[in-house]
Amino acid sequence: MTVPEGTWVLARLALRRDRVLLPAWMAALALVAITSAAATKGLYPTADSVRQAAGALNDTPAMVAVYGHIADVSSLGALAMLKPLTTGAVLVAVLAAMLVVRHTRAEEEAGRLELVRAGLVDRFAPMTAALVVVIGANAVMAVVTALGLSATGLPVAGSCTLAAAWLFVAAVFAGVGALAAQVVTGARAANGLAVSALGAAFAVRAIGDTTAPWLSWLSPLGWAQRTRPFAGDHWWVACVGLVVAGALMAAAYGVLARRDLGAGVLPERVGPATAGRGLRSALGLAWRLQRGSLLAWSAGFAAYGLLVGGVADQVGGLLDSDQARELFTRLGGQSGMTDAVLAAMVGLLGVVASAYGVQAALRPAVEEDAGRAALLLSTPLGRPRWVAGHLLIAGTGVVVVLAAAGVAAGAVHGARTGDAGQIGRVLTAALAQAPAGWLLTGLVLAVFGVAPRFAKATWAALAVFLLLGELGPALGLADWLIGLSPYAHLPHLPGGAFAPLPVASLVAASAVLVAGGLTAFRHRDVG
Amino acid sequence: MANAITSDAITASGLRKAFGRTRALDDLALTVRAGEVHGLLGPNGAGKTTLLRVLLGLVRADSGVARVLAADPWREAAELHRRVAYVPGEVTLWPTLTGGEVIGLLGELRGGARRARVAELVERFELDPTKRCRTYSSGNRRKVALVAALASDAELLVLDEPTAGLDPLMQAVFEECVARAREDGRTVLLASHILAEVEKVCDRVSIVRAGRVVDSGTLSDLRHLTRTTVRARLTGPPNGLAALPGVHDWTADGDQVRFRVDGNRLSQVLHVLTEREVRDLVCQPPTLEELFLGHYGSRS
C-alpha cells in the first residue's frame, strides 16, 4: 500500500498549525504522569504502606467507578498510575478525536479542503495526514512518557505498557473522530459524536468495574486498564485496541471513498423559505444555533444519570476488607457509602457540565471568527445584546444538563431504594455544581471580550483546573494553588455540608468576569 | 455651508487606523452626498473594507472624525444601524439556516421584514431561499445578503464588493436595483475594484490608495484631471508638437503620431495640431482603467 499523494505536505501543514498545541499537550500529560510517579514514591515508602493505600482505593467504590481497580495492590507503579492512566486516557482520547476532525471535516466545512483537494492531493490524503499526525504525536508522547517513568525508578516494562495504553486509546479515538467526520457534515456535530462515544466508553467502564466486570471489556477505557501497567503488563490487550482502531479507520475510509466533497452520509434536505416565529431576534438565532447541541448534551447527561442511579446502591457489596468497613462506618453506614459514590459521580458531572458551558460560551467567538458577527452587528442589534443571547443559553444550559443528570440519577436511585426523596437530594447535588460551570462560562466571555483569538484557550484552563483537583493533592501542591480551581470550592453533595460562601463567591466571580468581558467587547474592534 | 452639512450622508476626515504595523487608514478624508451612488475604488488592501467597518462602528478609528447620517458611528452604532444596511465583502452565513431564514432574520433585526419586497428580490436574483446556506455558492451567499439589504428601508446602503461572484445577468439585476435605490432617494456607498461596475452605477468616485482618498469627484471631473490620448496622421512633419507643454508619452511611427495631453492643456494642443495637415484624428478620453493605473501605476 502506498501513501496517498499529498499526505506529507498536508501532515506538515497540520504540524505547522498545531505547533503550539501539540507539544504543550504532550509535555503536560507526560509531565503529569512523571511527577505523579515521583510524588507517590515519596508518599508510600514501604511495601506495606503501598498495599494499604491500594487496598483502600480498591475498596472505595467511588474511586473504582471513576478510575477502576488497582490490579496488583503490592505494586507501587500501579498505585501511582491509577489516576494518570484513566485521566490521561480520557484527555488523549478527546484530543485525538478533535484533532482529526479539525484537520478533516472542519477544513472541508470551511471550504479550504476544496482548494487543497483540487491540487495534487489524493482524496484520502487529508484524513491520512490527520491520522499520521495525531498518532505520530501520541507515539512521541508515549516514548517520552515511558522514558520519564522509567527514569523515576518504576519498572521499564510497566512504563512502556502505560505509554502503550495511552497510545492505543489515542488511536481508537482518532478512528472514532475520523469516522464521525465522515458521517456528519458539520465539524461541531462530529466532535459531539466523538465525545459522546467517549462518554459512553467511560460510563460502560464505570458500571463494569463497580458491578459487572465483563461490561468493561466493551469499553476502550476498560481495555486501557486491563493492559495492567506495573501489574502483569498484559500487552496483548493493547493489540486488541489497535485492531479496533484499524477497523474504525477502515470504516472511515470506506465512507470517504463513497461520498462527495462536503457531503455526509445523509442527503441534504431543503428547509423553510422564510424565517419562522422563533427566528426573529438575536436570542432566537442563538437558540436555533445551540439547541441541537444542548439537546445532545442533555441526553448524554440523562443517560449518565440513569447509569449512576442504577449502580450507586450496589457498591456496598464490594466491601470485603477491614479498612473498607471502617471507612464505611465512618461515612455513616450504607447510605453514607452510597452518598459518597453519588457525590463522586456528581463531581465529575460538574466538570463535564463546565465543558458544555465553555463550548456554548465560545459561540460568539466562533461566529466572529467565521465573519458572521459583522453582518449581525451591522443591524440595530447592540453588541451586549448579541452576546447576551449566547451567554443566556450557556448559563442556563449548564443548569439544564446538570438537572437532566440529577433527575435521572435521583429517579433511578430513588426507585431502587424506595425513597422518592432521593430525587430532590440528587438533583440538588447536581445543581450545586453549576457555579463552577458559570465561572468557566464567564472566563470564556472575559477572554472573548479582550482578545477573541485566545477565547479557545479557555479549554486549557478547564484542563488545568481538572488536573489541579485530580492530581494536586498527590503532587503536594500548595492549597492556594489547588484553590484556583473552581471545583475545589464546590460542596460535596449529597451527604456533605453545604457552605454558601464559596458557592456565592463563585457566582460573584462569574458575574464579574461576564461584566468585564461585555465591557471590553464594547470597546474593541469587531473582525 | 449649512446646506452642505445636511446634504452629506457621510463625512470623514483625518481617519487613521493601524493594525499592528500595518496602516490600514492613513489620514483619510471622504465625503458622500445624500442621495448619490458613491464608488470607493481601490485595489485589494487599499483600506476600503476597514473604512467601511469604521463607518459602521465595527472598528474604532485611532484618530479622526467620522459622521454617518449625522451620527457618530462608534458611539451611536445601534441607533445608526436602523438607517443603514450592509453587505460585507465576504459573506459567511449560518450553515444550518436556509437563505430565506437568514433574510427573514436580518429583516427582523432591522425592524421588520418587508415580505413583498423580499419576495420580489428573491425572484429577480433567482435565489432558492429553501436551501441551507452551507450548500450555497459564494455568489448565492452574496445574493442572500444583497436581498436582505435591498429589501430594508435603510437610507444608506453600504456595499463591499457587491457583485463579486455574481454572473453578468445578476450583475445587471444588481445595477437596476442600485438605480432604483437612488430613485427612492437612498444613498449608496459601494466599494469595488471592478472599474466597469463603478463606471456604470456611480455618480461620484473616490479613489483609495494606501489608506488615503487620493482623488474624489465625478467621473468627468476625474477625467478632466487626467490625460486624453490623441492619435493623428499628419501629412507634414509635427514641428515641435512634442515639445508643447502638457504633451507626454510622445511616439511617432511614420506619419502616425500618438501622445497624451493633460486635460487642462487639451484645447491649446489641439489648436496647434490643427495648424498642421491632419488626415486622421482620434481623441480618446481616459478610461477608468487609465485613471486607476495613473494612481496605482506610475505615481506609486
Give the pLDDT score at B299: 42
Give the pLDDT score at A345: 82
CA atoms within 13 A of residue A510's CA, in its CB half-sphere: 24
Whether residue A494 is preceded by a cis peptide bond, meaning omega within 30 degrees of 0, is yes
Q: Is the ipTM of this complex over 0.85?
A: no
Are B64 and B16 in contact by the 8 Å Cβ rule? The answer is yes
Residue B157 touches partner A, C-beta closer than 8 Å: no
Is there a contact between A275 and B92 if contact means CB atoms under 8 Å apart?
Answer: no
For residue B34, give how far its alpha carbon lies from the nearest alpha carbon of chain A (Å): 20
Band (pLDDT 50/70/90 cuts) for residue B3 is very low
A380 → closest Cβ in B95, B111, B135: B111
Question: How many percent of chain B have pLDDT more than 90?
Answer: 55
A270 dihedral zone (left: phi>0; alpha: psi -120 to 50; beta): beta
Element containing residue B296 per DSSP (H, E):
none
Sheet-wide strand order for B8-19: B22-33, B8-19, B63-68
Which residues of chain A make contact with B141, given a CB cutoff of 8 A?
A: none
C-alpha cell at A73: 495492590
Q: Same domain for B52 and B184? A: yes
Give the pLDDT score at A318: 53
Give the pLDDT score at A1: 63
Give the pLDDT score at A225: 92
Structurally, chain B folds into a number of domains equal to 2
Residue A241 Cα distances to A172, A208, B68, angstroms? 7, 18, 64
- Dist CA A161 CA A321 (whole Å): 29
Q: Same domain for B252 and B201? A: no
Crossing angle of helices A156-183 and A235-258, in 10° steps, is: 20
Which tens digits make up the pLDDT trace of A160-200? 999 999 999 999 999 999 999 999 888 888 988 898 899 88
Is there a contact between B105 and A285 if contact means CB atoms under 8 Å apart?
Answer: yes
Q: Taking residues B87-98, report their average pLDDT.
A: 91
Give the pLDDT score at A328: 56
Residues 6+ away with beta carbon under 8 Å from B269 = B230, B241, B244, B246, B247, B261
Which tens digits make up the pLDDT trace of A436-457? 999 999 999 999 999 999 999 9
Is there a contact between B108 and A371 if contact means CB atoms under 8 Å apart?
Answer: no
**Is the pLDDT higher at A470 or at A202?**
A202
Q: Taking residues A481-493, report their average pLDDT.
A: 89
Is B148 a residue whose pLDDT tops 70? Answer: yes
Most confidently modeled range among A35-49, A399-413, B232-246, B280-294: A399-413
- Domain with B170, as residue range(s), is 2-217
Q: Same domain for B255 and B294? A: yes
Is there a contact between B130 and A271 if contact means CB atoms under 8 Å apart?
Answer: yes
A372 → closest Cβ in B93, B100, B134: B93
Band (pLDDT 50/70/90 cuts) for residue A300 is confident
Which residues of chain B make contact with A269, given a CB cutoff of 8 A?
A: 132
C-alpha cell at A409: 440519577
Which residue pairs from A458-464 have beta carbons closer than 8 angstroms and sit at least 24 positions apart in sequence? A458/A358, A458/A362, A459/A358, A460/A24, A462/A351, A462/A354, A462/A355, A462/A358, A463/A28, A463/A91
Which residues of chain B make contact with A276, given a CB cutoff of 8 A?
A: 101, 104
Are A48 and A197 in contact by the 8 Å Cβ rule? The answer is no
Residue B149 touches partner A, C-beta closer than 8 Å: no
Q: Which residue has the cell 515519596?
A: A42
Give the pLDDT score at A292: 87
Are B257 and B244 in contact by the 8 Å Cβ rule? The answer is no
First to last CA, chain A: 45
Band (pLDDT 50/70/90 cuts) for residue A334 is low
SS3 call for B264: helix
Band (pLDDT 50/70/90 cuts) for residue B119 is very high
Residue A306 Cα distances to A12, A32, A287, angstroms? 45, 32, 27
Q: Same domain for B167 and B41? A: yes
Give the pLDDT score at B1: 39
Burial of A491 (0-12, 13-18, 19+ CB in 10 A): buried
CATH number at residue B281: 3.30.70.920
**Domain boundary residue among B199, B217, B235?**
B217
**Across the strands, what pairs with B248?**
B260
- Dist CA A231 CA A233 (whole Å): 6
Residue B147 Cα distances to A347, B92, B142, angstroms? 50, 15, 9
DSSP A2: P
Residue A218 Cα distances to A93, A165, A311, angstroms? 16, 16, 17
Q: Locate the chain A residue with the closest alpha carbon to B17.
A: A525
**Domain boundary residue among B191, B217, B243?**
B217
Band (pLDDT 50/70/90 cuts) for residue A337 is confident
Is B295 a residue whose pLDDT tops 80? Answer: no
* Residue-averaged pLDDT of chain A: 89
Element containing residue A321 per DSSP (H, E):
none
Residue A313 touches partner B, C-beta closer than 8 Å: no
Amino acid identity, residue A352? V
- Dist CA B233 CA A526 (whole Å): 59
Give the pLDDT score at B254: 83
Buried b (16+ CB within 10 A) or exposed e, A5-24: ebbeebbebbeeebeebbee
Which residue pairs from B281-286 have beta carbons closer than 8 angstroms and sit at least 24 positions apart in sequence? B281/B230, B281/B231, B281/B232, B281/B233, B282/B230, B282/B231, B282/B232, B283/B228, B283/B229, B283/B230, B284/B228, B284/B229, B284/B230, B284/B231, B285/B223, B285/B228, B286/B223, B286/B226, B286/B227, B286/B228, B286/B229
B280 dihedral zone (left: phi>0; alpha: psi -120 to 50; beta): beta
Range from A107-111, A426-430, B80-84 carrying the lowest mean pLDDT: A107-111
Q: Same domain for B211 and B241? A: no
Is B2 a residue whose pLDDT tops 50? Answer: no
Which residues of chain A make contact with B106, given a CB cutoff of 8 A?
A: 375-376, 379
What are the φ and ψ backbone dihedral angles of A232, each rounded to 5 degrees?
A: 115, -25
DSSP A267: P
Q: Same domain for B236 and B129? A: no
Which tens digits make up the pLDDT trace of A455-476? 999 999 998 998 888 778 877 8
Give the pLDDT score at B134: 86
- Dist CA B111 CA A65 (whole Å): 55
Pairing status of strand B8-19 against strand B63-68: antiparallel
Give the pLDDT score at A325: 61
* Residue-averaged pLDDT of chain B: 88
Which tens digits make up the pLDDT trace of B269-283? 888 888 888 888 898
Is A139 a residue whose pLDDT tops 80? Answer: yes
**Domain boundary residue among B182, B217, B252?**
B217
Q: Same domain for B230 and B213? A: no
DSSP B193: S
Q: Taking residues A205-211, report their average pLDDT.
A: 85
- Dist CA A368 CA A527 (whole Å): 6
Q: Same domain for B256 and B132? A: no
CATH number at residue B43: 3.40.50.300
Which tens digits make up the pLDDT trace of B160-184? 999 988 999 999 999 999 999 999 9
Band (pLDDT 50/70/90 cuts) for residue A117 is confident
pTM for the model stands at: 0.79
Is there a contact between B85 and A378 if contact means CB atoms under 8 Å apart?
Answer: yes
Q: Same domain for B40 and B107? A: yes
Which tens digits make up the pLDDT trace of A382-424? 999 999 999 999 999 999 999 999 999 999 999 988 998 999 9
Give the pLDDT score at B68: 96
Range from A43-47, B114-118, B226-230 carrying the lowest mean pLDDT: B226-230
Q: Same domain for B128 and B64? A: yes
- E strands present in A266-349: none
Which tens digits make up the pLDDT trace of A345-360? 888 889 999 999 999 9
Is there a contact between A382 and B77 if contact means CB atoms under 8 Å apart?
Answer: yes
Residue A185 touches partner B, C-beta closer than 8 Å: yes
Element containing residue B62 per DSSP (H, E):
none
Q: Same domain for B167 and B42? A: yes
B81 → closest Cβ in A109, A281, A380: A380
Which residue pairs from A163-166 have beta carbons closer than 8 angstroms and sit at least 24 positions apart in sequence? A164/A227, A164/A235, A164/A238, A165/A85, A165/A89, A165/A223, A165/A224, A165/A225, A165/A227, A165/A229, A165/A238, A165/A241, A166/A29, A166/A85, A166/A88, A166/A89, A166/A92, A166/A138, A166/A141, A166/A142, A166/A224
Q: Same domain for B188 and B230? A: no
Give the pLDDT score at A331: 56
Q: Locate the chain A residue with the closest alpha carbon to B138.
A: A111
For residue B91, give how far its alpha carbon lies from the nearest alpha carbon of chain A (Å): 8
